[in-house]
Amino acid sequence: MANKRVLLVDDEPLIVKGLRFSLEQDGYDVESAADGEEAINAFFGGQFDLVLLDVMLPKLSGIEVCQRIRERSTVPIIMLTAKGEDMDKILGLEYGADDYMTKPFNVLEVKARIKTVLRRSGASGAAEEKRVIRVRDMEVNLVNRSVTLAGKEVKLTAKEFDLLQLFITNRGKVYSRENMLETVWKYDYLGDMRTVDVHIRRLREKIERNTAQPEFIFTKWGVGYYFTDKD
Q: Least distance to DNA from the beta carbon of 120, Å?
A: 27
- Residue 151, by phi and psi: left (phi above 0), alpha (psi -120 to 50) or beta? left
Nearer to a copy of itself, 14 or 132 (CB): 132
1-9, 143-151, 188-196, 204-212 -> range binding a copy of itself (CB under 8 A): 143-151
- Compute the least distance from the CB of residue 113 to DNA, in Å: 19
- The burial class, CB within 10 Å (0-12 / 13-18 / 19+), for 122 is exposed
217 CA to centre of own chain: 21
Q: What's the min distance (Å) between Cβ of 174 and a copy of itself?
A: 28
Contact 124, 116 (CB under 8 A): no
CA distances for 80 relative to 88, 122, 130, 184, 213, angstroms: 13, 22, 28, 18, 42
Which residues sit opposite 52 in a β-bridge? Answer: 8, 78
Smallest gap from residue 191 Cβ to DNA (A): 3
Strand 50-54 to 152-154 pairing: unpaired
Residues 6+ apart with CB under 8 A from 120: 76, 98
- For the chain, what is the total number of helices (H) and then of strands (E)? 7, 12
Say if CB 106 and CB 161 are below 8 A apart. Answer: no
> Given the complex with a copy of itself, which of 47 and 157 has the nearer CB atom?
157
Closer by beta carbon to a copy of itself, 89 or else 201: 89
Q: CB of 229: closest distance to a copy of itself in angstroms?
A: 16
C-beta separation of 27 from 3 below 8 A:
yes
Q: Which stretch binds a copy of itself (CB under 8 A): 3-11, 24-32, 78-86, 211-219?
A: 78-86
Q: Residues interacting with DNA, by CB under 7 A?
A: 155, 157-160, 185, 189, 191-192, 194-195, 197-202, 204-205, 211-212, 219-224
Which residue type sits at 191?
Answer: G
Q: Which does 201 bind (CB under 5 to 8 A by kind): a copy of itself, DNA, none?
A: DNA
Query: Is 141 near a copy of itself (CB under 8 A)?
Result: yes
153 contributes a contact to a copy of itself by CB under 8 A:
yes
Q: Hey, which residues between 91 and 110 contact a copy of itself (CB under 8 A)? A: 91-93, 99-100, 102
Q: Which is nearer to DNA, 129 or 205 (CB)?
A: 205
Give contact residues for a copy of itself (rule: CB under 8 A).
83-84, 86-89, 91-93, 99-100, 102, 116, 132, 134, 139, 141, 143-144, 146, 148, 150-153
